[in-house]
Structure 1
Amino acid sequence: MGLYATAGAKLYIGSTKNQKNDDFVEADFDAENWTEIANLENLGSLGDTAEAVNFNPIGSKRQKTLKGTRSAGTMEVVCGIDNDDAGQVAAIAAEKSDHDFAFRLVLNDAPATGIKPTPSERIFIAKVMSASEAFDEANSVMKLNISLGVNSNVVRIAAATGD
């Protein structure tokens, strides 16, 4: 492969999705209907971090660190406000809900060759923790800041040539 720009990536919101005890897999999202969230400016970051569990044994004088629970963190998404965009409207409505929603991030990294090349994807569930508007100064685009509290593993789907 190679290096790819974030430009061209797309973020989609789906319907409510229940948490489960096991990791999600791609098939868990097969029946989802996706709505694109348009006018993205920043997608933030996404991925697991383990909580540190520290133990201080008296005899060795060396702290031991273990891995505890994992968290995929909070994805901070920034969009230019578009009151007519169905994806932004859905994200604002999702903020008012206590439920998790399905999200799909499609990257701009489809192979240059192949019969039907497809880009890689990241699929996960998250609670929309906030949907706040930022207006800033005169020469600024008004922004919708969406915070996604990720509540699952992130399913990684590799780019493919479609051969």
Structure 2
Amino acid sequence: MTVYSSAGLQIYIGGVMAQGDDLTLADFTTPPQTWVQIKEVEAAGSVGDTSEAITFTALDDSRTRTIKGPRSAGTMEIVCGIDPDDPGQQAVIAAEKEIHDYGFKLVFNDAPAGGTPSERYFIGKVMSQAEQYDQANNVMKLNISIGVNSNVVRVARAEATP
């Protein structure tokens, strides 16, 4: 088993994308997206589906049953050091002012020698972007919340081709 640290993870924002059924890699590559890296990321949060619990209690057997309901990929919370010159941070700030969903891409730092890294793709709305200032001995932060509105498309890392 091989595990990797989050160090080296890169996050990108793409263009406006429409919601639909479960997305595939082709939805993010045809036509090709223009990806802008969001720099100075300190923490990347999490994404992934969780099913809403629906419960039903039958009177005759007094048993509560749990049924899987709608799925949600949640809200990804990203923390960055504020860099007013970073095009990725500027794109996120602009996207927060819009009602549209945007494409997002994560690139892991897990590529085998000469190979390609794992990637994750999803669409979401930039729900908030807030600056955090804290105390004198801290870096000023940009806190970003992305409401994920799709499945997460997983692309596995690949070995080098001979």
* TM class by smaller structure: over 0.9
Q: Partner of 2:25 in structure 1?
A: 26
Q: Partner of 2:160 in structure 1?
A: 162
Q: Partner of 1:68 in structure 2?
A: 69
AA aligned opposite 1:15: G
TM-score by length of 2: 0.96
TM-score by length of 1: 0.96
Equivalences, count: 159
Contact 2:112 2:160 in 1 (8 A): no
AA aligned opposite 1:121: E
Cα distance, 1:157 vs structure 2: 0.4
Runs of 4+ off more than 6 Å? none
Gaps of 5+ in 2: none
CA RMSD of aligned residues (A): 0.8
Secondary structure of 2:93's match? helix
Correspondence 1:136 to 2:137: no
Cα distance, 1:80 vs structure 2: 0.2
Structure 1 CA distance, aligned partners of 2:120 and 2:107? Answer: 7
Correspondence 1:17 to 2:42: no
After superposition, where does 1:47-86 map in structure 2 within 5 Å? 47-86=48-87
Q: Partner of 2:150 in structure 1?
A: 152
Structure 2 CA distance, aligned partners of 1:95 and 1:79? Answer: 15
Secondary structure of 1:51's match? strand
Q: Partner of 2:117 in structure 1?
A: 119
Structure 2 CA distance, aligned partners of 1:60 and 1:89? Answer: 58
| CA-to-aligned-CA distance 1:78-136 (integer Å, 9 cap, x gap) | 00000000000000000000000000001111123xxx411101100000000000000
Contact 2:48 2:73 in 1 (8 A): yes
Provide the identity percentage: 58
Q: Partner of 2:104 in structure 1?
A: 103
Structure 2 CA distance, aligned partners of 1:33 and 1:70? Answer: 28
Cα distance, 1:162 vs structure 2: 3.2
